[in-house]
Amino acid sequence: MKTRTTITIDGAAYELSDEFLSHVLELAVEGGCSYWADASGEAADKAQGNESIRDFDLSDYVEHDSDVDDGDAPVYASATFLASKDPAQGGTLDLQGVADAIERIVSGDAEVPEGIREIISVAVEDGDASDIDTEAADCIVQIGLFDEIVYG
């Protein structure tokens, strides 16, 4: 999975890797949206028929994080988020949906807390999703699914 998605913000083009976008889904599935949704992610390899996907973090089993080669970690291609109290609310978000939501948030077309917008903006400008936390990932998912922050 080595493709890139281009988003445009204030006339400037930014390329986001699939790994960047997948990281957002991973954060949302593994905790960011857990207070309102039952979430499950589909790894890109699984979507292509590879059933040998690792579902744990090797860093829990090694002495130094630098000993971890995380190249085999799941890279989500999509994720489904269904509201715990009303499964009719929610849906599936793919990498393009994540990119579209990020573009709307950073360009100011979606209403999110300013601190969250700044975190996402810096990550996009740097091309590094590691600054995006679970709260920001939750906002991205909600904008992608509902066009607004519904929960939280």
Q: What is the mean pLDDT of residues 2-18?
A: 89
pLDDT of residue 29: 94
DSSP string, 4-45: EEEEEETTEEEEEEHHHHHHHHHHIIIIITTTTEEEEEEEHH
| Residue 135 tokens, joined | 């709260």
Q: What is the mean pLDDT of residues 71-81?
A: 78
Confidence of residue 54 (pLDDT cuts 50, 70, 90): very low
- pLDDT at 143 > cutoff 90: yes
Question: For the chain, what is the largest distance between any 2 Cα atoms, rounded to a whole number of angstroms?
Answer: 46
Check if the beta carbon of residue 116 is closer than 8 Å to that of residue 124: no
